[in-house]
Amino acid sequence: MTSILILNGPNLNLLGTRQPEVYGSTTLNDIEHMCIATAKELGCALAFHQENSEGALVDLIHAARGTHDGIILNAGAYTHTSIALMDAISSVELPVIELHLSNTLAREEYRHTSYISKVALGIICGFGAAGYGHALRAMAQHLETSE
């Protein structure tokens, strides 16, 4: 069975209360339940994690090799700063979809640079919580067609 890892970076544990005008009122727990339902519909196994620490995210990416077939990563602010995450993604040789709730290109200038996109299969941004379902479907389709 195809296995997909969804990783969420810093401050995403505060979804639902943190800047709802930007990120919406859906909680990370709500998103996880939506992802579980979508993965079941797609016939995929799913692991879902959130970490505020960059090192913990790197460790989870490393552990994905040989365990998961693809990664969906909402790295939050680390998207714009973390060469370590970029290098971890490159080292595990798994397809990664970069995901953001907001349209980062319509926001502050510093959010326009992504280290993750340099090694990602693609980017989904600006669709709020629905972006997670879009990313799961895109990853499942990619994995199916690349077998």
Catalytic residue numbers read 23, 100
The 10 Å Cβ neighbour count of residue 29 is: 13
Say how far apart CA 120 and CA 112 lie, in whole Å: 15
- Edge to edge, the sheet with strand 70-74 lists 45-50, 3-8, 70-74, 96-100, 122-125
Residue 12, helix vs strand vs coil: helix
Q: Of 65, 69, 58, 45, which is closest to residue 7 (Cα–Cα)?
A: 58
Q: Which amino acid is at 129?
A: A
